[in-house]
Amino acid sequence: MKTKIFKLVLSAAIAAMVCSVGAYAKDMSKVVIPTKHNKHLTLGQIAKITPGLGTVMIEYSHRFWVAYYAAKNANWGLAQYEIKEMPEIQEVGEITRPAHAAELKAFEHTYLDPLMAAAKAENWNKFQNAYAKTVNACNACHIGTGHSYIRYRLPSNPPPSLPQVAE
């Protein structure tokens, strides 16, 4: 009984907050959010600076590049870290571009999970194979979404922050 009353009171409190915000600003884009560095930002201003997939993919591709050369240099911890971060970056795209959320999530499970498994196994051959499949899937996705002009190609050198790998 106490749980039902608590849920009822909580629901009423949430409804009252929503109504008060609605009464305060019928246009939610004008709701003001205080910040540490500015006096305030509106939800509309925050929405304007929310990154889309193009911005997200820049960081994604950088981490993908670092992961490859880290694995090639047997720095498996760094490779695992970069791969672990990729789904977190992807979450931004899933939230800001929900039309692509299911596709992004499927990509994660189909390609990033095997890539991580190869990195955890510290198996360069499996890693190379999983990496090649992931690159092909990225490029196929770009074609499928009408962005065939975006083609991931692994840079021929490691990022400057990583040591050169002896061939």
pLDDT along the chain (167 residues), means of 10: 46 47 59 80 82 88 96 95 94 88 93 98 98 96 93 92 59
Q: Provide the residue ranges of all domains of the chain, joining segments of one domain with +.
A: 2-48, 53-144
Q: Tokens 């571009």 belong to which residue?
A: 97
Select the CATH number that applies to the domain covering 53-144 from these four: 1.10.10, 1.20.120, 2.60.40, 2.170.240: 1.20.120
Entry pTM = 0.74
